[in-house]
Chains A and B, each alone.
Chain A
Amino acid sequence: MPEATLTRAPAGAAPRRRGSRHGSNAWAHVLLATGGVVMVFPFVWQLLTSLSTNAQVMSVPPVFWPGELQWGNYAEVFSKLPFLQEFWVSVSITVVRTVGQLVLCSMAGYAFARMRFPLRGVLLALVLSILMVPSQVYLIPQYQIVNGLGWLNTVAGIAAPGVFSAFGTFLMMQFFKGVPDSLEEAARLDGANPFQVFWRVMLPLAGPSLGALTIITVLWSWNDLLWPLIVSTRAESMPLAAGIATFAGRTTTDYTVMMAASVLAMAPILLLFIVLQRRVIDGLAHSGLK
């Protein structure tokens, strides 16, 4: 990595000696590992729960190690849910929302950051304001619109409102504001119109932020629960998160299968994150600044 030639001290630390990098990183590892354990152990517990029996889950004091691992819970997931269909729905709505947001938010973000036009401040305030009311405010009106369009029970219906994002616009706006003017100036001087500037100069630089937006949007969309639950009336047109929620029975819940389903549902996203974070955050920064 290009920065490897420099030592940068983290916040709050005493000035470092140059060199002896690996030695001085040991304490960083200790800190990170301890924090990491705190971050991860509820997930470990979730994993253990998915391999237990319901009796063990419901007992007090709680049972940590199930003894005999109930792999059958994972098989049961597939018999209780149309898992693959719901997986496919989750993928579809997530792709639509993510691609939609990447395109729309980067464009709008760039405009808000770098262009002058009347009412820009007002429009920006309006866009941000939608984040400031309880999200349940939108339930009934959005349902009526989607119903009116005949989009109940469809991927389009579930995905549509999520394609437009104030959060994404804000994220991209902040990024574009941080890009030095010199680049844009140079392109303009070369006679490029705003779209060409955006496409050829700005967008290639936006890798890390687009990556961050992708990860966050994918995650939000994957775990989105209430809206898909309301718009779909058939198990086959629900995404995974909604399908898993249906495990909650009225008085008894099959926690073990529910946890198993959650683990299965989480796995693809985790994989996606692992792949994305390497390629985007680690790799693409700093290209094109020279």
Chain B
Amino acid sequence: MKHLLRSASLAGVAAVALTLSACGGGDDAAEDGAAVAPTDAQAEITYAIWDENQKPAIDQNIKDFNEKYPNIKVTVDLTPYQQYFTKLQTQGESRTLPDVFWMNGPNVQLYAANDLLQPVTGLVESGDVDPSKYPDALNELYSFEGTQYGVPKDFDTVALWYNKALFEQAGVDLPTDDWTWDDFTAAAGTISEKLADQGVYGVVTELNGGGQSSYYDSILQAGGHVISEDGTSSGYDDPASIEGLRLWADLVADGASPSVQQLSDTKPNVWFNSGKAAMFWSGNWSVAEMKDSPNKDDFGIVRLPEGPERRATVIHGLANVVAADGENVEAANAFLAYLGSEEAQRTQAEMGAANPAYTGTQEAFVDSVPSFGIDVFLESADEMSFPYPISKNTAAWNALENELLPQAFSGERPVEDVAKELADAMDEELAKE
């Protein structure tokens, strides 16, 4: 039964390691986030990412990093998003996390709360990382219980994409930065009516896979909230939130937007890309796709319309984090600091990888497609952005949102009922955290 014993002892070792790291230990350097390695340090570290489109920019970053740190070898581990967090969880259980890796809002608290991430406090104190260079909302997103764990890498805000040609065809005035909800819904309705025989809809957005480009924004615009400040209660039963949800239910009911099933079968970006939708709520991540569209010359971007309460968009971005139990924390920190630097972030913009978080480095991204008007995203970040809603086990209530909200949008059930049910279920999940 040797193999059984071995497995048992492996499990035992894992359990012990878990307890030890959970204790935190008396290593001050580790608690503050250890120092950065000297430039002649030798190490091999892994960097885990999930977007193949950004790999060329990452490779360039590594090359530039090696100019300062020639002996630190960085290997990129690319895993598709669909499997990324499954893999990360598996690695986390065995404490074999990559040295540096991408993290997103919904998952950061889970890893931070389990002491899997290295705080960046040490780097901030030594001046290697300067949080003031990144949007506050992002720093907040990646802080847990007062400590910041990640260095922001990029950010996305949401804006209103539109197709000039379709507007002209339907005889509707083009969207402006001063639009309100009423302007928006009126235009959507008119266009769907007038261009119905072409199979064109007034507006499309993601209604099935999370609210970042739809109801999170509209809820904020109506004065509601998704989750309370302290992360303990749901905001879905707030009447203002319900109004935010109702915007979309009405659009679907009027035929201004395709149905929930249609949007699931054919993704919203495909509708817009092919010129089958006049408006599209989406973030700057769509730039990469839309710039290759056959209809690209007709595309424009304005800020999201003003809701009953305010203008708003959620802001979200990825961050680079360092594993707490890594073997080469100092080398990893050096790489992390580089990735957060102005040079590295500017490279991202220049190579079209993403919209970097570092203030002032985004010009290349904005200039990549002048006709779109990409600066709208930056303005939105500065003037009207709110942090993406998260908690320790975001996934649990995201699943509830995806389960229940489509029933409200499709008109199957009244919006208030669905919202109330969602709020109750979400409160239950939050209570477990």
Residues of A within 8 A of B (CB): 54-55, 58-60, 80, 139-141, 143-145, 147-148, 152, 226, 229-230, 233-235, 245-252, 254
Expressed in whole angstroms, the Cα–Cα distance for A277 and B195 within the complex equals 56
Chain A residue contacts of B91, Cβ below 8 A? 143, 230
Query: Could you name 25 residue pairs across A and B whose Cβ atoms are closer than 8 Å?
Result: A55-B273, A58-B270, A58-B273, A58-B289, A59-B273, A139-B86, A140-B93, A143-B90, A144-B11, A144-B93, A144-B94, A145-B6, A145-B10, A226-B83, A229-B80, A230-B83, A233-B77, A245-B80, A248-B82, A249-B80, A250-B50, A251-B288, A251-B289, A252-B53, A252-B288
Chain B residue contacts of A245, Cβ below 8 A? 80, 82-83
B52 touching A248, Cβ below 8 Å? yes
Chain B residue contacts of A235, Cβ below 8 A? 76-78
Report which residue of A54, A55, A226, A234 has the largest number of chain B beta carbons within 10 angstroms of its beta carbon: A55
Expressed in whole angstroms, the Cα–Cα distance for A104 and B75 within the complex equals 37
Chain B residue contacts of A246, Cβ below 8 A? 52, 78-80
B46 touching A252, Cβ below 8 Å? no
B274 touching A60, Cβ below 8 Å? yes
Expressed in whole angstroms, the Cα–Cα distance for A251 and B51 within the complex equals 8
| B39 close to A (CB within 8 Å) | no
List 15 additional contacts besides A60-B271, A60-B276, A143-B91; criterion CB under 8 Å: A55-B292, A58-B269, A59-B274, A139-B90, A147-B94, A148-B6, A226-B83, A230-B86, A234-B75, A245-B83, A246-B52, A249-B80, A249-B81, A250-B285, A251-B288
Q: Which residues from 8 to 24 on chain B have a C-beta closer than 8 Å to any C-beta of chain A?
A: 10-11, 14
Chain A residue contacts of B294, Cβ below 8 A? 55, 59
Chain B residue with minimal CB distance to A136?
A: B86
* Proximity bits, B58-97, A CB within 8 Å = 1, else 0: 0000000000000000011111111100110011011010
- Given A59-B273, A247-B52, A249-B52, check contact A233 B83 (CB 8 Å): no
Q: Which listed residue (B6, B11, B98) contacts A233, Cβ 8 A?
A: B98
Interface of B is mostly: helix
Chain B residue with minimal CB distance to A56?
A: B294
Closest 5 CB pairs of A and B: A233-B77, A248-B80, A249-B53, A250-B51, A252-B289
Chain B residue contacts of A233, Cβ below 8 A? 46, 48, 75, 77, 98
Chain B residue contacts of A247, Cβ below 8 A? 52, 80
| B368 close to A (CB within 8 Å) | no
| B169 close to A (CB within 8 Å) | no
- Given A144-B94, A147-B96, A252-B289, check contact A229 B79 (CB 8 Å): yes
B10 touching A60, Cβ below 8 Å? no
| B393 close to A (CB within 8 Å) | no
Chain B residue contacts of A254, Cβ below 8 A? 52-53
Expressed in whole angstroms, the Cα–Cα distance for A214 and B10 within the complex equals 34
Chain A residue contacts of B132, Cβ below 8 A? none
B90 touching A54, Cβ below 8 Å? no
CB distance from A241 to the nearest CB of B (A): 12
| B264 close to A (CB within 8 Å) | no
Expressed in whole angstroms, the Cα–Cα distance for A234 and B286 within the complex equals 28
Expressed in whole angstroms, the Cα–Cα distance for A80 and B59 within the complex equals 12
Expressed in whole angstroms, the Cα–Cα distance for A60 and B312 within the complex equals 32
Chain A residue contacts of B93, Cβ below 8 A? 140, 143-144
Chain A residue contacts of B208, Cβ below 8 A? none
Expressed in whole angstroms, the Cα–Cα distance for A280 and B121 within the complex equals 65
